Structure 1
């Protein structure tokens, strides 16, 4: 049982707000491995800035991996070539950004190799992003599912909604297509990383 710190879900290319929580609560960071997989959340989707505005990238999961499957057991579906679609979208959206080419080789393998489980895939990406951001504290992982935790634990498992805008303020940073739709807040961390590069950690 976790005694203190913050408990976060595992997301795909998590939003900027997620990393502000990581920097706020490190070193007492925990990632939920054993929850039942909820649908239509950042666990398998990420928002990026496209020429037409907000674009949501969804990692498809194997049917039946929905309601009562622990997060760590949810399998990725490869029935269609979503990796190619995601990578082409990232290239199209961020090719003009200041740092995309700088990080391109780090992210490319995630769109070339197949990983069986969504949790493992997201975990490897999270480790990469934390390394690129120079966040040196690795998170801990839950061993069992607990519906409730003591008040000394900040439970953030349901704190991030892919459906509604984030309430916290985020100061604008340069985005490639901002002249079209203005500043879009709380996009995937890759939006901040590709636009701000090594300065991204200072923003967080």
Structure 2
């Protein structure tokens, strides 16, 4: 199966289920940047429940701005904040220390463009998962896609589907219950080397 999908910030489980099952992954890079999406946001499991991590971006004065042209607002120390949030949420998880050294450079190295940063995050996560993806990038934006399964709808954080994913043990699960479809980081830190098996065993029902 060939798919087209948005590269998002530490993509959620649904994104990675789609990518793990695909023979070829095309990244959509020619769309317009929209607010309220996973392009610059992910959710993790904090001590008080679901926690959003947002990357601040510089919005153009123009009405439309291409995703690939959007710059990160680095005046805010967001990388330090996000890393502290991950430490607080996952340092007691079974596999945080196992992947810590691979992930830390993502929060220590300044990035200029949100798309480039997201692609780098996905690359590092795939290395952690030992997931080999055959990827390419869109050349033009097409509303209707032929010969590819269109998973671009997964980018919308406000109209998210309800997925019946299998439960796994989460750090604060005994306090707030199982929270599905969080960032891939949640699965990675809790399931470790079993994370890829989990992704490949899940079913993603398209709308």
Using the size of structure 1 for normalisation, the TM-score is 0.93
Counterpart among 140, 148, 154 of residue 149 in structure 2: 154
4+ aligned runs moved over 4 Å, structure 1:
none
**Match of residue 106 from structure 1:** 102
Supply the RMSD in Å over aligned alpha carbons: 1.5
**In the aligned structure 2, how far is the partner of 1:37 from the partner of 1:67?**
10
Shift of 1:165: 4.8
Q: Equivalences for 1:2-151 in 2 at 5 Å?
A: 5-25=2-22, 27-64=23-60, 67-150=63-146
Report which stretch shifted further, 61-70 or 45-54: 61-70
Distance 1:58 1:126, change over 3 A: same
Number of residue-to-residue matches in the alignment: 199
Distance 1:67 1:183, change over 3 A: farther
Q: Does 1:195 align with 2:190?
A: yes
**In the aligned structure 2, how far is the partner of 1:41 from the partner of 1:65?**
19
Structure 1 runs not aligned, ≥5 long:
none
SS in 2 for 1:159: helix
